[in-house]
Each structure stands twice: as structure tokens, then as C-alpha cells.
């Protein structure tokens, strides 16, 4: 009797400070590498995870998603507990569960939500330094919010994408962007059906330029229309960015 293959989904939170991002690479430790190594060890079979979002070096996640196939008899729900006992403290598996074999976290439709945090105060706050971008020049939050509205909807985001992208289709849909200020922290929350390489960080860098009054809010729309990376703002630093979570509407409908 052959072993039965199942696909297991993980919901993963991590502090990206120590890591060279999600994707395996020769220059440093990545989340993907740690998960593959731990799972291979724990389940005693070679495991390779497929991540939904290949976050950049230094970016944090509260709910990234990955799947892997296994013939283990360990119930899918228990795998999170086993992993959490061994993982470093800056990586936590929040959930593990079986999903249909045809579920692929990058090919299925999804809604991803990112949050970017800017500490906009006179002084750096040491306990916030790892998770927000410190800027002491006061930003005009209302102008940033107006500018953000131009990006909502389906657009060609070629201007807001690293030139190193491999994507040929640069059209994406942004469902919502909110710019809020609570005390000294400005939070930009963006959700969409997918994001190009560095897209969130370039949008944030461009909105910061609006907040600094270097751009008028409607210039963000002109940048969009020019489809040229060189006309957009700089890429905001990685450590202010957190992948909040990913929803998969299809997952509910799969058998």
C-alpha cells in the first residue's frame, strides 16, 4: 500500500529583521530555507515549501502563507505545534491545515494586505526602530491620503515596480489604501489582488514625497500614466513593511 500524499498549508508570522527575506538564496538565511530544513527534519522526508508572498529582505509578516506536500501521518493541524517548538523565536506558525492538492498559493486568486509604518516624530523611538521607518520631517497626511486614492482600482503599475521585475503583465488591482495617523505613527494599509516587485515600497516612497510636498497629490496619477519607474518616488526601506495577511476566496470553494 502506497503512502497517501497530502498538501498542508501554513500561516506564518515572522520578524524579518534577521532574515534575507523569504526566498532561498546563497547570501544569507531566509524564511523558506528555515522552514524547509525544519520540516524535512521533523517529518523525515524531503520538504520544499511554496510561499504565497516572497517578501524582501527585512520585511516582516503577520500572516504569510505557504504550502507543501507530504506523506506524513502526522495530522496537518499538529504540524504547527511541532514546528513552533523548534523554530527560532522570530518565526511563529499560526496555523497548519490540510488543503486540496490543487491549491497553489501563487496561482489562486488572493487578496493580500500590507501595512507600512512611518514614525513621524522629532526623535527616533528605540522600541519602534525595527518595525517602522523614522522620518522627522512632518508629513502632510491628508495630501498622502488624497494621493493614495488615485491608485485604487485596476491600473498598469509599471511605474511603481522595480525594473528588475520579471513580470510581463504589470496590471494589478488595488482594492483599498488607507493612510492614517495615530499619535506619532503614520500607517499606510494597502490591499490588492497582487503586487509587483517592490510595488508597495515604491508606492509608499512616492506617497512620502507627497507628504513632504515634493509632489502634489495628483502627480501620483501622472506617474501612473507615464509607465516609467524613473518618474516614481524612491523605494521606502524594508523594515517599515509588514505583510498583514492573505485571503484566498477560492480556498473556500475547492472540494
Q: What's the rounded Cα separation, in Å, for the pair 39 and 71? A: 12
Residue 166 gets the label, from left (phi > 0), alpha (psi -120 to 50) or beta, of: alpha
Q: How far is the CB of 222 from a second copy (least distance, A)?
A: 35
Residue 241 phi, psi dihedral angles, 5° rounding:
-100, 135
Q: Is 176 a catalytic residue?
A: no
- Burial class of residue 8 in the structure, from the number of CB atoms within 10 Å of its CB (0-12 exposed, 13-18 middle, 19+ buried): buried
Q: How far is the CB of 187 from a second copy (least distance, A)?
A: 13
Q: What's the rounded Cα separation, in Å, for the pair 133 and 147? A: 20
Residue 251 phi, psi dihedral angles, 5° rounding:
-60, -30
* Lookup: cell for 246: 492573505
Task: Report which secondary-structure segment, H or E, holds 205.
Answer: helix 199-211
Nearer to a second copy, 28 or 249 (CB): 28
- Identify the active-site residue in 15, 56, 69, 156: 56
Q: What's the rounded Cα separation, in Å, for the pair 150 and 139? A: 19
Q: How far is the CB of 229 from a second copy (least distance, A)?
A: 29
Q: How far is the CB of 155 from a second copy (least distance, A)?
A: 30
- Residue of 87, 93, 30, 29 lying closest to 67 (CA atoms): 93
Q: How far is the CB of 202 from a second copy (least distance, A)?
A: 23
3-state SS track over 39-92:
HHHHHCCCCCCEECCCCCCCCEEEEEEEEEEECCCCCHHHHHHHHHHHCCCCEE
Residues that bind a second copy (CB under 8 A): 13-15, 60, 62, 89-92, 94, 122-127, 129-131, 242
Residues tagged active-site: 56
Amino acid at each position: 500500500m502506497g503512502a497517501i500524499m497530502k498538501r498542508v498549508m501554513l500561516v506564518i508570522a515572522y520578524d524579518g529583521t534577521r532574515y534575507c527575506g523569504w526566498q532561498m538564496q546563497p547570501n544569507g538565511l531566509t524564511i523558506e530555507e528555515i522552514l524547509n530544513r525544519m520540516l524535512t527534519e521533523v517529518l523525515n522526508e524531503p520538504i520544499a515549501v511554496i510561499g504565497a508572498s516572497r517578501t524582501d529582505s527585512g520585511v516582516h509578516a503577520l500572516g504569510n502563507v505557504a504550502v507543501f506536500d507530504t506523506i506524513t501521518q502526522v495530522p496537518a493541524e499538529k504540524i504547527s505545534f511541532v514546528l513552533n517548538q523548534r523554530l527560532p523565536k522570530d518565526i511563529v506558525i499560526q496555523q497548519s491545515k490540510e488543503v486540496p492538492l490543487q491549491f497553489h498559493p501563487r496561482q489562486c486568486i488572493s487578496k493580500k494586505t500590507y501595512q507600512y509604518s512611518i514614525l513621524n516624530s522629532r526623535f527616533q523611538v528605540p522600541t519602534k526602530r525595527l518595525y517602522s521607518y523614522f522620518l522627522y520631517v512632518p508629513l502632510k497626511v491628508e495630501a498622502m491620503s488624497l494621493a493614495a486614492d488615485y491608485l485604487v482600482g485596476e491600473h498598469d503599475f509599471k511605474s511603481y515596480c522595480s525594473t528588475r521585475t520579471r513580470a510581463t503583465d504589470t496590471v494589478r488591482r488595488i482594492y483599498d489604501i488607507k493612510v492614517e495617523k495615530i499619535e506619532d505613527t503614520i500607517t499606510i494599509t494597502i490591499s490588492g489582488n497582487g503586487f509587483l516587485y517592490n510595488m508597495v515600497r515604491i508606492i509608499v516612497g512616492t506617497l512620502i514625497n507627497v507628504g513632504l510636498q515634493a509632489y502634489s497629490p495628483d502627480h501620483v496619477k501622472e506617474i501612473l500614466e507615464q509607465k516609467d519607474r524613473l518618474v516614481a518616488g524612491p523605494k521606502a526601506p524594508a523594515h517599515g513593511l509588514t505583510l498583514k495577511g492573505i485571503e484566498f476566496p477560492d480556498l473556500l470553494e475547492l472540494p
